[in-house]
Amino acid sequence: MTDSTNVPVHVSMIMDGNGRWAKERGLERVRGHYEGVESVRACTEAAVEEGVKYLSIFAFSEENWNRPEAEVIALMSLMAKCIAAETPTFHKNHIRFRVLGNRERLSAELLASIEATEKATECYDRLTMIVFLSYSGKWDIMQAARKMALEAASDPSKAESLKDMKLSDFDKYLVTAGVPDPDLIIRTSGETRISNYLLWQAAYSEFYFTPVLWPDFRKPQFREALEAYAKRDRRYGKVK
């Protein structure tokens, strides 16, 4: 266990560098994605051991649909395989599994297996594992605004109440409704950008960037990130 009581409630990971990991070894990019699954397993175990309550991963962005078709197909089928393979672990370790993103773009088959696993694990609360799939931050904010506008258009009392709207009222329209904002966002592979991830929810997240490529990011690296987080001073604009 990390020697700290300052454990983040929600850790989010931008898993990056699978392609470069494979290229360094003269392998196909997809091999990097396969190896990256082992990192997800390792980090999930470490998160449970450290007492993290929410672990989220950016698995596929809305922009990733623009990758070559073969890679998109490989990533989607890897997702389906992982759900099937990991479901017994979710039950064993009492992990709630959720997928957040633009579901309209997912195949009916993948969607059915996602929904079945979400339903089967919704009773668990040791760790909530969130996979952001076909997700982008701008898309999330836009769909939230659209939902709100449609509600207001069909219900004058809702339109009236917009005057007194608080920021926390907007949270309810985002796909992350009810999920605490990430305390810590980790990005691997040396890139130091947010790539249209949790734009609204990351307003006060701590960022941890590491040059380690995602397939090499395992338990020791995850713990190192938690240790770095424990030393951060979160001020939220106030004076301490």
Name residue 212's amino acid.
V
Gyration radius of the chain's alpha carbons? 18
CA-wise closest residue to 133 among 152, 160, 113, 163 = 113
Smallest gap from Cβ 77 to Mg ion, in A, equals: 19
Helix (H/G/I), strand (E/B), else coil: 36:
helix
**Count of residues touching Mg ion (by CB under 5 A):** 1
Among 89, 93, 143, 195, binds ligand IPE (CB under 6 A): 195
Question: What is the CB neighbour count within 10 angstroms for residue 240?
Answer: 6
CA distance 90 to 48: 11
| 134 lies in the binding site for ligand IPE (CB under 6 A) | no
Residues marked active site are found at 16, 64
Name, in order, each residue with C-beta under 8 angstroms of 174's C-beta and a sequence gap of 6 or more. 140, 141, 144, 200, 201
Nearer to ligand IPE, 17 or 182 (CB): 17
Nearer to Mg ion, 37 or 52 (CB): 37
| 62 lies in the binding site for Mg ion (CB under 5 A) | no
| 16 lies in the binding site for Mg ion (CB under 5 A) | yes
Name, in order, each residue with C-beta under 8 angstroms of 44's C-beta and a sequence gap of 6 or more. 55, 95, 127, 129
Q: Which range touches ligand IPE (CB under 6 A), out of 41-49, 59-67, 118-126, 167-175?
A: 59-67
What 8-state DSSP symbol labels residue 181?
A: P
Smallest gap from Cβ 195 to ligand IPE, in A, equals: 4
Following CA atoms 116, 120, 121, 124 in sequence, which dihedral angle do they give, to the nearest 10 degrees?
A: 160
| 136 lies in the binding site for ligand IPE (CB under 6 A) | no
Asked if 62 and 135 count as a contact pair (C-beta separation under 8 A), the reply is yes
Among 2, 8, 11, 18, binds ligand IPE (CB under 6 A): 18
Q: Which range touches ligand IPE (CB under 6 A), out of 54-62, 90-98, 138-146, 171-179?
A: 54-62
Nearer to ligand IPE, 2 or 56 (CB): 56
Binding interface with Mg ion (CB under 5 A): 16
Binding interface with ligand IPE (CB under 6 A): 14-20, 58-61, 64, 75, 189, 191, 193, 195, 214
